[in-house]
Amino acid sequence: MLTIALPKGRVLEELIPLFAKGGYSFPSEWFTSSRKLVFTLPEQGFTLFLAKPMDVPTYVEYGVADLGIVGKDVLLEAAREVYELLDLRISPCRLAVAGKPGAEPALYPRVATKYPRIAERYFKERGQQVEVIFLNGSVELAPLTGLAERIVDIVSTGKTLRENGLVELERITEVTARLIANQVSYRLKREAIQTLAERLGKAVEGEVSA
Ligand SMILES: Nc1ncnc2c1ncn2[C@@H]1O[C@H](COP(=O)(O)OP(=O)(O)OP(=O)(O)O)[C@@H](O)[C@H]1O
Ligand SMILES: O=P(O)(O)OC[C@H]1O[C@H](OP(=O)(O)OP(=O)(O)O)[C@H](O)[C@@H]1O
């Protein structure tokens, strides 16, 4: 039996059709119209549970889940000891630095973000001194209110930036969802994990499993 930690929210919606393509179908209403967090599927050999995206790497590092699915942004931010097995190529977006257009860069700017670790590392690598301010969401509000000059956040369509009069200034990295594994599970349950990874890999490539 494999235990898989799935992220609630956006990624989950795209995961259900990907799993179906890989030959693992489960009714999406299970996830959408219920408050249940754990689903056991004896026929498929899975237990699935639903966690907050940022918590998925924690469940996987501690071995409570053998596998997890999570955005690369979360993986970089969480910095947990897990193996990254597969790029699922779903939920594409990017991490970027954004701000008001044409603003003079301050010597020691404040940067608001849900991703403090990624932001610290990015500016440190560039030798830029910044003060990173952690926010839980609606990060675009920070430059509008004067809390920070810059933000580090996810950009997908660019609509949120546009509608708030902000512009993308620097691109940090491209982001897609990844399959991750607990390091011990990867050795002890190698066959089951590889079967799942191969099937999902084929689904990513557009080859539908029977
Ligand atoms: N606008 C977006 N378009 C595409 N993918 C996105 C977008 N925003 C986030 N993502 C990807 O989807 C993942 C989950 O995002 P989601 O919005 O479901 O949760 P969250 O807002 O990060 O978490 P929380 O529920 O804790 O607020 C992100 O980690 C990222 O990889
Ligand atoms: O480029 P876009 O297509 O507009 O998408 C980007 C927005 O999506 C995410 O926010 P989310 O909806 O998760 O809300 P949050 O700000 O509360 O995290 C992200 O933080 C951006 O705000």
Predicted confidence (pLDDT) at residue 145 exceeds the cutoff of 60: yes
Complex ipTM value: 0.95
Number of domains composing the chain: 2
Residues 54 and 122 reside in one and the same domain: no
* CATH number, domain with residue 28: 3.40.190.10
Indicate if the pLDDT at residue 118 is higher than 70. yes
Which structural domain, as residue segments, surrounds residue 59? 2-91+176-204
Per-residue pLDDT at 25 exceeds 90:
no
Residue 169's alpha-carbon distances to 60, 96, 100, 121, in angstroms, are 34, 7, 9, 17
Residue 125 reports pLDDT greater than 80? yes
Per-residue pLDDT at 43 = 83
80 neighbors 60 (Cβ within 8 angstroms)? yes
The ligand placed nearest to the CA atom of residue 89 is: 1
The rounded Å distance from CA 195 to ligand 2 centre is 34
Pair 10, 82 in one domain: yes
- Residue 209 has what pLDDT? 63
For residues 54 and 132, state if they share a domain: no
pLDDT of residue 208: 64
pLDDT class of 193 with cuts at 50, 70, 90: very high
Could you tell me the two tokens for 116? 């403090």
Whether the per-residue pLDDT at 210 is higher than 60: the answer is: no
146 lies in some domain: yes
Lowest-confidence region among 20-34, 65-79, 90-104, 173-187: 20-34
Query: What average pLDDT does the segment 109-124 reach?
Result: 98
Between residues 60 and 13, the one the model is more confident about: 60
Distance of CA 175 from the midpoint of ligand 2 (Å): 13
Residues 71 and 87 in one domain: yes
- Beta-bridge mates of residue 174: 94
User: What is the spatial distance between Cα 190 and Cα 185, in angstroms, rounded to a whole number?
Assistant: 7
First to last CA, the chain: 21
Query: Do 75 and 8 sit in the same domain of this protein?
Result: yes
How many A from CA of 158 to the centre of ligand 2? 9
Q: Say if 209 falls within a structural domain.
A: no
Ligand 1 contact via 159 beta carbon (within 6 Å): no
- The answer to whether residues 143 and 105 touch, using CB atoms and an 8 Å cutoff, is no
Higher pLDDT, 36 or 147: 147
Has residue 203 got a pLDDT over 70? yes
DSSP letter at 55? G
The protein residue with its alpha carbon nearest to ligand 1, atom 29, reads 71
- On whether both 65 and 169 belong to a single domain, the answer is no
Q: Is residue 210 part of a domain?
A: no
| Residue 91 near ligand 1, beta carbon < 6 Å | yes
